[in-house]
């Protein structure tokens, strides 16, 4: 155990105000101050011992060199906004919440795929969904797809043999050629953002890959905007209006490319991983790491998943299909319409991006919903159970 000083209760913790249940998990450790994520800067953290952030805050030498921070925790799965080499070289402990939002993102992507299956259903169900990146999120999506009878073709050259074995056991097929994935009727991208190594992902998806997508294909990016070459994506969507594009991540968030947003079939402000369950779990994971490395006592960590079931509100009070249930649970088309309206209706577009994102923090996941059985056959009921819905 690493103790920062003789009196752990004297520690000052600065946290992003949008971290869910931050007071519940961290007020026990010392003085807790919350700031807007975009207000966290070198001037506001000079006297902090610990820093808790989201992806909107870049952590590097410029932020930390004049502070006494010895613990940095990010409530995200991705870590490309953190200079981990600088932290390691300066004996600053780093923690993240890898996998905390995997199910939330998988639910979002499944909702997109099922939503547009009204148009491409025969193709998807006879073909395969391609997944680029089979980490925590990609694996969660693959499990959902396989549970309702949709085949998966995955590309991920960085998987260990054990990870591949687990995926193959649930029926995932693999290819060593990324072009094969883009030949499928639907492609969902779930890679981390990296700039070096044998398989860097920055701008890894270019026009040549995009052009392989079949007619009326679905393209989902819920990883990082930078993994697709933006200008080439823009040109592609302009020339291929048949493609259904679901974009949840963007370059230069929150100041996103409005031309690209307008072309996207579905545009949302980096909310695929936003759910009350995911956000609470992320905060809990950081608290557990903080307790292990920085605190003298035994922290108290309430459960992150004790939520009352949510009664699903349905249009006309009718359950006609799996598609209608999923659409009612996660109405991403409605979110997209409202987001586009809000961000184009104001000069403060970055503020509109952040405001809409914040409004989604209490979103439910499939497993939070309870539905009354109505007009569904046995296969549809099985599919809903496999997706996580509770039936009554």
**What residues act catalytically?**
224, 253, 270
Task: Identify the sign of the CA torsion 143, 120, 232, 55.
Answer: negative
| Furthest CA-CA distance within the chain | 65
Bridge-partner residues for 95, per DSSP? 73
The 369-371 sheet, strands edge to edge: 310-311, 369-371, 390-391
Angle between helices 102-115 and 322-329 (to 10 degrees): 130
Identify whether the C-beta of residue 208 lies closer than 8 Å to the C-beta of residue 232. no
Burial (CB count <10 Å: 0-12, 13-18, 19+), residue 248: buried
Burial (CB count <10 Å: 0-12, 13-18, 19+), residue 142: buried
DSSP string, 138-202: HHHHHHHHHHTT-EEEEE-TT--HHHHHHHHHTT-EE-S-HHHHTTSSEEEE-PPP-SSSSS--T
CA distances from 152 to 149, 155, 186 (A): 10, 10, 10
Identify whether the C-beta of residue 246 lies closer than 8 Å to the C-beta of residue 339. no
DSSP string, 308-319: PPEEPP-GGG--
- DSSP type of residue 59: B
CA distance 47 to 332: 42
Whether the bond into 254 is cis, omega within 30 of 0: yes
């Amino acid at each position: 155990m690493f103790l920062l000083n003789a009196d752990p209760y004297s520690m000052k913790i600065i946290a992003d105000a949008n971290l869910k249940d931050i007071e519940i998990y961290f007020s026990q450790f010392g003085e807790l101050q919350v700031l807007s994520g975009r207000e966290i800067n070198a001037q506001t953290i000079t006297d902090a011992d610990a820093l808790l952030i989201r992806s909107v805050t870049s952590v590097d030498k410029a932020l930390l060199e004049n502070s006494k921070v010895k613990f940095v925790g990010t409530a995200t799965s991705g870590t490309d906004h953190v200079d981990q080499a600088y932290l390691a070289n300066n004996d600053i402990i780093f923690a993240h919440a890898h996998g905390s939002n995997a199910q939330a993102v998988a639910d979002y992507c499944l909702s997109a795929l099922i939503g547009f299956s009204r148009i491409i259903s025969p193709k998807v169900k006879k073909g395969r969904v391609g997944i680029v990146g089979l980490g925590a999120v990609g694996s969660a999506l693959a499990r959902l797809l396989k549970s309702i009878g949709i085949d998966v073709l995955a590309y991920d050259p960085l998987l260990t043999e054990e990870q591949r074995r687990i995926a193959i056991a649930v029926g995932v097929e693999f290819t060593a050629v990324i072009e094969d994935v883009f030949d499928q009727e639907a492609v969902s991208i779930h890679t981390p953002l990296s700039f070096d190594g044998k398989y860097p992902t920055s701008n890894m998806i270019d026009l040549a890959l995009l052009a392989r997508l079949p007619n009326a294909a679905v393209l989902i990016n819920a990883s990082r905007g930078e993994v697709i070459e933006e200008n080439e994506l823009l040109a592609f969507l302009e020339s291929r209006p048949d493609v259904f594009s679901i974009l949840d991540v963007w370059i230069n968030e929150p100041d996103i490319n409005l031309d690209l947003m307008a072309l996207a079939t579905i545009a949302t402000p980096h909310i695929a991983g936003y759910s009350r369950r995911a956000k609470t779990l992320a905060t809990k994971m950081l608290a557990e790491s903080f307790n292990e490395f920085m605190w003298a006592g035994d922290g108290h960590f309430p459960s992150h998943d004790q939520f009352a079931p949510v009664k699903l509100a349905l249009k006309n009070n009718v359950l006609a299909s799996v598609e209608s249930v999923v659409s009612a649970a996660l109405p991403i088309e409605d979110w997209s319409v409202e987001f586009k309206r809000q961000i184009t209706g104001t000069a403060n577009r970055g503020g509109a991006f952040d405001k809409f994102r914040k409004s989604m923090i209490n979103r439910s996941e499939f497993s939070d919903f309870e539905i009354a059985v109505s007009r569904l056959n046995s296969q549809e009921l099985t599919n809903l159970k496999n997706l996580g819905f509770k039936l009554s």
